[in-house]
Homo-oligomer: A and B are copies of this chain.
Amino acid sequence: MTYCLGIKVNQGIVMVSDSRTSAGVDNISSYSKMWRYGVPGQRQFVICAAGNLATTQAVITQVETDIAKVAPVSLNTVATLAEAAAYLGKVNVKAQKSNTGGGPLFECTFLLAGEILGSSNGLYLIYSEGNYIAASNQKPFLQVGETKYGKPILDRVIVLETPIESAALCALVSMDATIRSNLTVGPPIELAILETGTLQPGYYYSYSDDDEFLRDLRSSWDSLMQQAFQQLQPLPWQPTRAPAPPVSQS
């Protein structure tokens, strides 16, 4: 399994991915699931992937080949992020079909973030069928893979006005919640930040499992959650509301 997350706030886009791959619990490995491409001042992209590893590698190889060989359509030729999403969708479908004939086992979904000179920045989720959706102003994040454990904190914190540093921190907290509850998501954790309008590679971090900042974040969040829990008003222990329905007696 995998967990990748993109957050698009006013100040920019945050992408986070884990690195665990598993083909069964006895066949676990680490692969980066984040790729970054760009021409400073012109265009910048970050791609994250969840799904079949062979399909992922075939897609990324094709994307890089199209850039290197100056193909008619590549991440270097598209004029908008929507065009980039459509391109990645086509590459994705082709990679699934050409190597295996397709099927659920070979599916991949991608997150694509980026900005192109002359166009607004964007964050897209590209499905295994090649179609795609953009993050909305109402729900400014997209997730692929093991999405549920890390969603409650995003639902509570992330709005368009969230500062980009806070969005990045929230993404790491969301990742930490997922790692804690699901063995198939694991470090290193990669984080990339593209600030709106800069068209620069931006910030990139890779956190290993014993990274000091990540370890501090994990233990701080753990303590803060437990402290928060302690601060809740206690349950009214004596039933003060309507009496319970009668217990079935026999």
Residue positions of A touching B, CB distance < 8 A: 35-40, 44, 64, 67-68, 76, 148-149, 151-153, 155-157, 165-166, 168-170, 172-173, 177, 180-181, 201, 203-206, 211, 213, 216-217, 220-222, 224-229, 231-237, 239, 241, 244-245, 247-250
Contact = CB atoms under 8 A, between A and B. Distances in A.
A72 to B, nearest CB: 14
Given A166-B229, A203-B237, 11 more contacts: A36-B248, A39-B250, A40-B247, A152-B181, A155-B181, A156-B222, A169-B234, A169-B235, A173-B232, A213-B236, A227-B228
A229 B157 contact: yes
A122 to B, nearest CB: 18
| Identical copies of this chain, number | 2
A228 B227 CA distance: 8
Nearest to A237: B165
B247 A151 contact: no
Nearest to A229: B157
A110 to B, nearest CB: 16
A173 B39 contact: no
A172 B236 CA distance: 13
A186 to B, nearest CB: 16
Contacts of A168: 235
A239 B67 contact: no
